[in-house]
Amino acid sequence: MHRKLRNLLILLAFLFAAACADNDTSKTKSMEPDGDPVCGNGTLDDGETCDGSSLDGESCEGLGLGDGELRCRTNCSDYDRSACGAPESCGDDSVEAPETCDGTDLAGATCESLGYGPGTLGCSANCAEFDVTMCGAVATCGNGELDDNELCDGSALGGATCGSLGLGTGDLACSDNCQQFDTTGCSAGCTPECGERECGPDPVCGSSCGGCDDGELCSAEGMCVCQPTTCDAQGAQCGTIDDGCGGTLDCGGCDGPAECGVGGTPNVCACPGVASGGTVDVDVPVVDVTFNLTVGGQALTAANTNYNSQGALELEDVDTG
């Protein structure tokens, strides 16, 4: 009797524990009927790094950044680090962990390598994220679905509203390149803060602070800077040239026997001794040349003394490709 009662109590305890586990929604994985995760439901699903305020316990400090507010990207693929503080190493134009970039040091990344269209890639002020607002649209932009590398797409805003952005009521929209929200329809509006910025988006609203003239680039700090020329653009094959911005470019050296600048044309590789319309005067290796000479149909040999002959052998330089 006592053994049966004890077994019954153990069974009840097991069922109670199972019921508690089933009611624990802190780790619930919400899925669509076809098994895909549901981004925007505030629950961390399989395949998601975060979802809304569900950050899986992560924080700015936990990522090695400064104090701030860690958020989730609208497509749930990664954290939004834009409101985190900068690490101590940020600002020296040299990427160090945990930085993604640092000023002009973009770790070799470009708009295209990150999956965006052509444009000017920059670095955020806290060195935690790339500034892609000046990049072209990704290939998927315009399909009305929130895909990788998109902040929004048409009416797909990832759950964002004017209210969630602190801009009152109204209709939030998406920019044409899917990288910024269009807040012009929000009642509170947004006051751009360009400060001393001359170009690019302002850090508050993403509105343009202006553009740059031809031959200039917009830096990550929002300043128009000179765009250096290239050796190819100037037709320079060797030597150094002016980069057009007060500096110099090293265009390298010449291959083989060619020398830089001979013949009167600077920064062009040519063989030494060559002048325009002149004669090539170079040393060539010594070679043995064997040939047969016939005169009047008879071979001219040392034994044939009927003829006296004098001539010269002319060598022609033939480019065989």
Tens-place pLDDT, residues 79-131: 989 889 989 899 999 999 999 999 999 999 999 898 888 888 999 989 999 98
Does residue 196 come out as left (phi exceeding 0), alpha (psi in the -120 to 50 range) or beta?
alpha
pLDDT in tens, 165-187: 878 888 999 988 888 888 888 87
Predicted local confidence at residue 278, as pLDDT? 47
Range name among 98-102, 149-153, 251-255, 287-291 with the lowest pLDDT average: 287-291
pLDDT in tens, 186-212: 877 667 788 888 888 877 777 778 888
Predicted local confidence at residue 65, as pLDDT? 92
Dist CA 79 CA 100 (whole Å): 13
> Does residue 214 have a pLDDT over 60?
yes
Confidence of residue 303 (pLDDT cuts 50, 70, 90): low
In percent, the amount of the chain with pLDDT more than 70 equals 72
> Does residue 137 have a pLDDT over 50?
yes
> Does residue 73 have a pLDDT over 80?
yes
Predicted local confidence at residue 184, as pLDDT? 82
pTM as predicted: 0.44
